[in-house]
Amino acid sequence: MKPYYKFPKAFEWGCATASYQVEGAAHEDGRGPSIWDTFCQTPGRIAMDHTGDVAVDQYHRYKDDVQLMKWLGLKAYRFSVSWPRVFPDGRGKLNRKGLAYYDRLADELLANGIEPWLTFFHWDLPQVLQDRFGGWEGRETAEYFGEYVGQVTAHLSDRVTRFFTINEFACFTDAGYGSGTFPPGKQLPAKERNQVRHHGVLVLQPYLARMCSARVS
């Protein structure tokens, strides 16, 4: 047995984050609340009552972070877009200030030889969709996800060619609507939980219709 293996030449070295875990700026430039904001502000839900209000402040310190990535020799950065930062109401009017952050981030990455990889949903559902439709319990959420994806794709696809729909499907379906350990913190019976999963799968249809020419995962 060889003592080590070589990675393929085409292997892409990178790192990944989630918008709520790193961005901070939870109340700036028109961002709306997400279900993670609500969950973290509920006493007893999170250890030491920590929130993502500031996190590592990547919203303001993204240039420093990109320089650290460059120093590490990374060639790719998989970040997620905050749905409530781009659509504070979950749908309808686009928040240009929120979208502009991802312009700045993508441009900074490319200027430093790092390819941006974009994930559309890393669990931070707009709270308004949770309140109005029950989040992923409602089919409407899947439909509005398609609207959100279409707008972001149209704006960033000139610089971003690697797109991902949903990060870790089981985390927001089973942990969010089964065990209740993730927001929205529900414990639904199996039949209703399967409906949540079904709506999560539905997002692929409008997404792929818009993204058939891009590299999709």
Dump pLDDT digits (tens) for 53-103.
999 999 999 999 999 999 999 999 999 999 999 999 999 999 999 999 999
Query: Quick check: 210 pLDDT over 60?
Result: no
Residue 149 is part of a domain; what is its CATH number? 3.20.20.80
> CA-CA-CA-CA torsion for 115, 35, 60, 88, nearest 10 degrees?
90
Query: Is residue 64 in some structural domain?
Result: yes
pLDDT score of 215: 47
- Tell which wins on pLDDT, 213 or 183: 183
Rounded Cα distance between 91 and 157, Å, is 20
Query: Is residue 9 in some structural domain?
Result: no
Query: Is residue 81 in some structural domain?
Result: yes
Query: Is residue 59 in some structural domain?
Result: yes
Query: Quick check: 212 pLDDT over 50?
Result: no
Query: Is residue 46 in some structural domain?
Result: yes
Number of structural domains, the chain? Answer: 1
Which domain, by its residues, includes 189?
A: 14-215
Query: Is residue 7 in some structural domain?
Result: no
Structure tokens at 188: 């639904």
Query: Quick check: 158 pLDDT over 50?
Result: yes
Long-range contacts of 180-185 (CB under 8 A, 24+ apart): 182/39, 182/123, 183/35, 183/36, 183/38, 183/39, 183/123, 183/125, 183/130, 184/35, 184/38, 184/39, 184/130, 184/135, 185/39, 185/42, 185/45
> Can you name the residues that pair with 34 across neighbouring β-strands?
126
pTM of the shown model: 0.92
